[in-house]
Amino acid sequence: MRILVARTDKLGDFITALPALYVLKKHDPQNKIIALVAPLNKALALTCNFIDEVIVDDGQSSVYKLSRKLKRENIDASVTLFSNTRVALAQFLAGIPTRIAPATKIAQIFYNKRVKQRRSEVKMAEFEYNLVLMKTLFSDIDLDYKTPLLVFDDAQKKYQEFCINNNIIKEVIAFHVGFGGSSDANWNLDEYEILIREVLHVNKYKVVLTFGPDEKSLKEEMQKRLQDSNVIFYLSTDGIVDFAKLISNFKLFVSTSTGTYHLASLVGTPTMTFFGDSKFASAARWKSVGDEKLQKHYMLPTDADKRTEIFEGVKQDLLNV
């Protein structure tokens, strides 16, 4: 059976789809699992041995061009985890016999199996809603998946090279101070500087600050703030896969709830993550796909006193790593 799974949004959102792709392949290894992804997620999708083919949707080409691309794949069934009208119509025009999606938005009219999920109620995490959709295709499917879900044979080599190049002899705690995705809560740079200096003062771990390829100015700002410290500033310019290999060896990854958090958890790195104090942005919805025992979540309220209390708790937790 040739099965298309569509998730064409951002990095963290795509990572929440990976357990669903994994269980489809596990259910029957003869299934051909095809992922429809945004361009930024192509390289990561290609590294997953439970994905057989990757189709890239740039979001710009016509719906007819996308439908022709899908039609050539002779797809038997599709599961769309997060839909828009363009992706839905393309599948309809491609003549995919079984088209499954959550029953939301006007796009649902183009699917012939619509599942009421009401994700806004946050009765489970995003990746769990994705997994449950697979029951519509195979009622007896086992939804358990391994963790970490993605392991690289050459990750240790990548890390050793990084340590040699930066004269690192201690385990690494990484801070990713950037902001993105659906995250709506984070510490400001002054607060991050305090947290980083607390870890530096203990002198137990090497501190690495990581930045995305479009965060050069943020990197320069943090270099100014911490110019008197022995911190490594790492601008990721070699792509998501190389970055994943590197951070898979870190002791701890500290960040807001953004794509890099999901990436760190995917590859088995312990995480310390900051979420907005709302149902939509909460850890209940956006906890990642990794081992939950390796994830430490903090909800950041808008109330100043409560925020200060949580900040002091984070400092203590960092000192006890």
Domain ranges within the chain, ordered by starting residue:
2-137, 155-319
pLDDT value for 27: 98
Given the candidates 3.40.50.80, 3.40.50.2000, 3.30.360.10, 1.10.3720.10, the CATH classification of the domain at 2-137 is 3.40.50.2000
Contact between 12 and 286 (Cβ < 8 Å): yes
C-alpha distances in Å from residue 156, one per residue of 149, 160, 175: 17, 6, 20
CA distance linking residue 319 with residue 114, whole number of Å? 48
pLDDT value for 316: 96
User: Which DSSP helix (H) or strand (E) runs through 7?
Assistant: strand 2-7
Contact between 50 and 150 (Cβ < 8 Å): no
pLDDT value for 180: 59
Listing DSSP states for 133-157 in one string gives HHHHH-TT------SSS---TTHHH
pLDDT value for 184: 58
pLDDT value for 187: 94
Contact between 100 and 119 (Cβ < 8 Å): no
CATH of domain 155-319: 3.40.50.2000
pLDDT value for 305: 94
Are 2-137 and 155-319 in the same CATH fold?
yes
Per run of 10 residues, the mean pLDDT along the chain (length 321 residues) is 97 97 98 97 98 96 96 98 93 98 89 92 95 97 98 96 96 90 76 96 96 96 95 96 98 96 98 92 94 96 93 95 92
Encode pLDDT of 105-134 as tens digits: 788 999 999 999 988 899 999 999 999 999
SS3 of 239, please? coil
| CA neighbours closer than 13 Å in the CB half-sphere of residue 132 | 14
Cα angle for residues 163, 165, 171 (degrees, 5° grid): 15
pLDDT value for 158: 95
Q: What is the amino acid identity at position 147? A: T
